[in-house]
Amino acid sequence: MKQDLYDHIVAYIVENQNKFYRLAYSYVRNREDALDVVQNAVCRALENYGGIRNEGAVNTWFYRILVNESLLFIKERKRLPLGEEDQTEGQYEEKGFEPQDDLYDLINCLDGDTQTIIKLRFFEELSLKEIAQIMEMNLNTIKARLYRGLRQLKVNMQEVDV
């Protein structure tokens, strides 16, 4: 049973690795950092796979791990002393994964939970119910934050156009 679950998780990770990279990249905005975040999430998932009770919940379980690893990475990066921060002048941009317009920057201006909800809903095409499970929030809270965030994006986009 445990080996079957482990094999299922490994197959799921391999099958969806590009989606996971894209989501991590949307948070950290750097190729190497996104790869590190995905690697950390995979390691954490494989270390703790025994805690899964329902094999059908692997999708939401892994997304929760990935989002938490992304947020943890961002938090740790903010704690670095000024001299140790990554230099952005020679930063590599991953073609095909970076946003093509200002919409992405506007999404990043929203609060953390709203950003995560919008990214999971529209970039990863997850259902609101799956997002509620990933974020461990009530479905109605997810809906309210999503629609409030979309309204704020609309206002911000109109301000940019003016």
Q: Are residues 2 and 68 in the same domain?
A: yes
Rg (CA), the chain: 17
pLDDT (tens digit, 9 = 90+) per residue, 82-139?
A: 554 444 444 445 555 444 557 778 888 888 899 999 999 998 889 999 999 999 999 9
In a domain, 5, yes or no: yes
Mean pLDDT of the chain, nearest integer? 85
Supply the pLDDT for residue 92: 46
In a domain, 85, yes or no: no
Query: What SS3 class is residue 122?
Result: helix
DSSP state at residue 101:
S
Q: Pick from 17, 47, 79: which residue ends a domain?
A: 79
pLDDT(144) > 60:
yes
> Amino acid identity, residue 94?
E
Which residue range is the domain that position 60 belongs to? 1-79
Q: Is the full-model pTM beyond 0.75?
A: yes
Q: Residue 10's closest CA among 40, 35, 34, 45?
A: 45
pLDDT (tens digit, 9 = 90+) per residue, 29-78?
A: 899 999 999 999 999 999 999 888 888 889 999 999 999 999 999 989 88
Supply the pLDDT for residue 80: 66
- Measured between its terminal Cα atoms, the distance across the chain in Å is 59
